[in-house]
Amino acid sequence: MNHPAPLQINQATKEPFIRLRRHPNIVVTPPRLTDSDALVQLLNDPRVHEWLKGPPYPYTQQDADSWLKFTTDASGELLGKLECPVVDGCPFSSLREISDDGTDTFIGSVTLDRWGYPLITDVEKKPQLVKENFQRAAGDPDIMWTIGGVPRCILWRPNKPDGAQCRLPGTESPWPGDHDRRPGHPAA
């Protein structure tokens, strides 16, 4: 398979990955079923689970196995489409730290996904918004994306080929930044 930039290939595993430019020892890869034990440990760590809304707590081995089966299947489907100029999602969600000897350690996960409008409470409006967003063709600049399910930062391409911005859901305003973080957040 001929992968587009910025993808690289791990020569040992033959797995594609994206290296973080400012942190070259951190890569983003597709999820692996072997991440299960590390995922359970991370999601039961109080420094992590207290900041999360979605996963159950305590997080069990069964939770991890089920989640990784789902995400590896979805990732595999997207990886098969990577030669297309436009894909419908991101198959890379697992964060790994590369050691000096070349081995990697699962250190976390982040998702890039279509926005599901979880903050919209209008029971008639929400299903229509979700349906429209998920029915948009891959590459449509009007698709609403979310990074990590964060409701205050939706990746938005305002019909400009030069890049994306973050914006508030339901507005045309750019994301105001870090002033609205939860009290106690390390970056607050």
Question: CB-hemisphere CA count at 13 Å for 129?
Answer: 17
- Quick one: which of 30, 60, 28 has its CA closest to 43? 60
CB atoms within 10 A of CB 91: 22
pLDDT for res 164 = 46
Find tokens 């957040």 and name the residue. Answer: 185
Q: Is 2 left (phi over 0), alpha (psi -120 to 50) or beta?
A: beta
Complete edge-to-edge strand list for the sheet that includes strand 23-29? 8-9, 16-20, 23-29, 94-98, 104-109
* Tens of each residue's pLDDT in the chain, 188 residues: 455 556 788 888 888 887 887 888 888 888 999 999 999 999 999 888 887 777 889 999 999 999 899 888 888 877 776 665 555 566 777 788 888 998 888 887 777 777 777 777 788 888 888 888 888 887 677 777 776 665 444 444 444 444 444 444 454 544 443 333 334 433 33
Find tokens 């080929």 and name the residue. Answer: 161
Q: What's the whole-model pTM score?
A: 0.56
Beta carbons within 8 Å of 177's beta carbon, 6+ residues apart: none
